[in-house]
Chains A and B, each alone.
Chain A
């Protein structure tokens, strides 16, 4: 017997994240490690738990192994529930064949039976590749107060950037009157965050219509939202204030990490009322030896630092050898950096071994990205790993 839920969350986590290059070769974008101990999806999953939305469907498609094992049965987020909890929803076969999720709306459409099991009044659609903290229950309250059919979370972006986003034009009390996807001359700077609350019947109806339109690419932003607007649905914009970042490119991924190192970071990881949960790495406290010097950095359990770490993030179990300098870099779990190494503006994947005396030789402002499980031999230049080929070095996985 399944008890009815007021609101079910559908978390889109199937994205490839092509622009993250080698980081997403073996894992989906929401599974990419972030912020010293998290994966990108932890932020939305924790938002669900902290908002009291305890029924979450996670839609996976691209390279789901890391994501699946990370989510498990949802224990770290307290989403291992008898009723509801987290459910991973991959594409599947039916008697009349099956198909991959062709777009965000199609993914929800194909899993509508999952939503109906809980008989909710509202469906929250979120995506697992944004870094932010948001109380969805406040947005739901707003949705109810406005007696809306659809509520879309928006954030004010700099006017210069507005033409990169889906822009909402609203009238005074927040009702959306127009939606423009990446407008050349934006008339508003309210960008859609890709967070939607729908009344379930309305969503069901419009997904059906969308499916019957052969010209549609089955995407919320491109197809379903404009279609709803045209049909005269009551659509409201919910203004979000706070930190929000799409980590879609290597530059924005690096920046979002570096944002955590500012003096008063906008994204507060230390708020005990809104913890970000993740799988516990279970390592001892980290060790700083007498010769270590660490400034403006995030360091995690199991690390051993003998050298210098400046303006960088070390994931659990990272070792930094003597006389090494790590600057403006992100070093993921289990990576061992030898002595006399100089790393600058680097993103180093998990379990990489960097031999003594290695150094980064990126061009100006280039971010050097080293693929996980590689070995960089002593004294060599550390260069970016591209398309699975290791530039200038050969390495065997440990």
Chain B
């Protein structure tokens, strides 16, 4: 994997995750009790042995830069290679940004200076825990120009709305992947169909070619303009992945996938196999349960103080649940405070929000309400 570099582009799906994305990009939306969305693909890359990783940002990336720091938490504070955060060189007005290739084109030097010959490119909102070294070795053995990751959509799964559909042909002799016959973007993949995950492996030289070709044409969408329009002349293969995988693109999905982590099997799959997920260290003390605490079926990060009742919920770091408070079916982010005898149900509390004593903050079943960052009810 020494010959592979990682490229993460911060894709533009802010709308679905409003208001969590009011002040942050999708990549830095908190998820899973102590992580942010970017941690999953970033840790997957590091655990796969990739140590040259760039993050191409577009907008609202202050919190992302604060989170990534020098890459220390991912072991990416290296003398050579390591972590590169590459913000846009120009300030885009909302209509001007047209795709990842536009970002890449502004930082060609990064690609030229990197010694690696292969790139793994990924979006930033993929919740996953993947060993990419298998994909890369499949890519090499099958002599493909591009290998893309896909997930077969299961019944009732809405994780891949907005993903392109992959139509595959015959099996590749090199492994479990197939040759891609067509990629259809624009309609959501149905159960049983194959959803493209925005993760691609290719030679750096090919990526540079695609960047140049697309820039000249003034079209910058990585999949549509870079890959689909070149499909006839390239050998594109598809590689299946499985496990706890989701493209978090809406509040609803964010809520449901968070709740899925309350099943120990999912907790184990996402956080431990094949590697650990890393995130910024906060030095939080242990979580403290008082005599009156009652906690059932919940995930709690460190630094919480629980004096009340918590049920079917996810608590991020440093949350305070006061006496008599009842939190049910909710996601409570970092440093929120739920006051005495307050009640929170079917809700998402963004960072540092507070529910005053005796207040009720309640959403509908399966349709959570969001309390915005630093707001108080």
Interchain CB contact under 8 A, A288 and B300:
yes
In this assembly, does A121 line the interface, its C-beta being within 8 Å of a C-beta of chain B?
A: no
Residue-wise, chain A 285-302 has the 8 Å CB interface mask toward B (1 for contact) of: 111111011111111110
Interchain CB contact under 8 A, B264 and A301:
no
In this assembly, does B271 line the interface, its C-beta being within 8 Å of a C-beta of chain A?
A: yes
CB-defined contacts of B295 to chain A, threshold 8 Å: 288, 292, 294
In this assembly, does B207 line the interface, its C-beta being within 8 Å of a C-beta of chain A?
A: no
Nearest Cβ in chain B — how far from A231, in angstroms? 44
Interchain CB contact under 8 A, A289 and B264:
yes
Residue-wise, chain B 259-277 has the 8 Å CB interface mask toward A (1 for contact) of: 0001010010011100011
Interchain CB contact under 8 A, A289 and B297:
yes
In this assembly, does B305 line the interface, its C-beta being within 8 Å of a C-beta of chain A?
A: yes
Interchain CB contact under 8 A, B285 and A269:
yes
- Distance in angstroms between the alpha carbons of A341 and B315 in the assembled complex: 28
Interchain CB contact under 8 A, A276 and B285:
yes
In this assembly, does A102 line the interface, its C-beta being within 8 Å of a C-beta of chain B?
A: no
Interchain CB contact under 8 A, A299 and B287:
yes
Chain B: CB-nearest residue to A271: B285
CB-defined contacts of A75 to chain B, threshold 8 Å: 72
Interchain CB contact under 8 A, B277 and A299:
no
CB-defined contacts of A280 to chain B, threshold 8 Å: 281, 283
Chain B: CB-nearest residue to A286: B300
How many residues in B have their beta carbons less than 8 Å from beta carbons of A?
39
Nearest Cβ in chain A — how far from B333, in angstroms? 12
CB-defined contacts of A104 to chain B, threshold 8 Å: none
Contacting A at CB under 8 A, from B30-62, are 32-34
How many residues in A have their beta carbons less than 8 Å from beta carbons of B?
34
Chain A: CB-nearest residue to B278: A282
Nearest Cβ in chain B — how far from A35, in angstroms? 7
Interchain CB contact under 8 A, B33 and A284:
yes
- Distance in angstroms between the alpha carbons of A270 and B302 in the assembled complex: 11
Interchain CB contact under 8 A, B283 and A301:
no
Interchain CB contact under 8 A, B291 and A296:
yes
Given A37-B285, A269-B285, A301 contacting B298 (CB threshold 8 A) = no
Given A284-B34, A285-B300, A288-B297, A313 contacting B286 (CB threshold 8 A) = yes
CB-defined contacts of A293 to chain B, threshold 8 Å: 294
- Distance in angstroms between the alpha carbons of A113 and B353 in the assembled complex: 53
Chain B: CB-nearest residue to A289: B297
- Distance in angstroms between the alpha carbons of A282 and B289 in the assembled complex: 21
- Distance in angstroms between the alpha carbons of A76 and B285 in the assembled complex: 14
Residue from B34, B271, B286, B288 in contact with A37 in the complex, judged by beta carbons closer than 8 Å = B286
Nearest Cβ in chain B — how far from A131, in angstroms? 13
Query: Which of B72, B270, B279, B283 has the most chain A CB atoms inside 10 A of its CB?
Result: B283
Residue-wise, chain A 246-280 has the 8 Å CB interface mask toward B (1 for contact) of: 00000000000000000100000110000111101
- Distance in angstroms between the alpha carbons of A293 and B295 in the assembled complex: 7
CB-defined contacts of A35 to chain B, threshold 8 Å: 285-286
CB-defined contacts of B300 to chain A, threshold 8 Å: 285-286, 288, 299
- Distance in angstroms between the alpha carbons of A53 and B302 in the assembled complex: 28
Residue from A283, A285, A295, A300 in contact with B293 in the complex, judged by beta carbons closer than 8 Å = A295
- Distance in angstroms between the alpha carbons of A35 and B285 in the assembled complex: 9
Interchain CB contact under 8 A, B267 and A287:
yes
In this assembly, does A15 line the interface, its C-beta being within 8 Å of a C-beta of chain B?
A: no
Residue from B278, B296, B301 in contact with A285 in the complex, judged by beta carbons closer than 8 Å = B301
CB-defined contacts of A282 to chain B, threshold 8 Å: 276, 278-279
Going nearest first, the 4 A-B pairs with the smallest beta carbon separation are: A285-B33, A36-B286, A284-B271, A269-B285
Q: List 24 A-B contacts (CB under 8 A).
A: A35-B286, A36-B285, A37-B302, A269-B285, A270-B305, A284-B33, A284-B267, A284-B299, A285-B33, A285-B299, A286-B300, A288-B295, A288-B296, A292-B295, A293-B294, A295-B289, A295-B291, A295-B292, A298-B289, A300-B286, A300-B302, A301-B301, A304-B264, A304-B267
* Given A289-B296, A295-B291, A301-B301, 17 additional A-B pairs, CB 8 A: A37-B286, A76-B283, A269-B286, A270-B305, A280-B281, A282-B279, A283-B271, A283-B276, A285-B32, A285-B299, A286-B301, A287-B262, A287-B298, A288-B295, A288-B298, A299-B289, A301-B34
- Which A residues are closer than 8 A to B by beta carbons? 35-37, 75-76, 263, 269-270, 275-278, 280, 282-290, 292-301, 304, 313
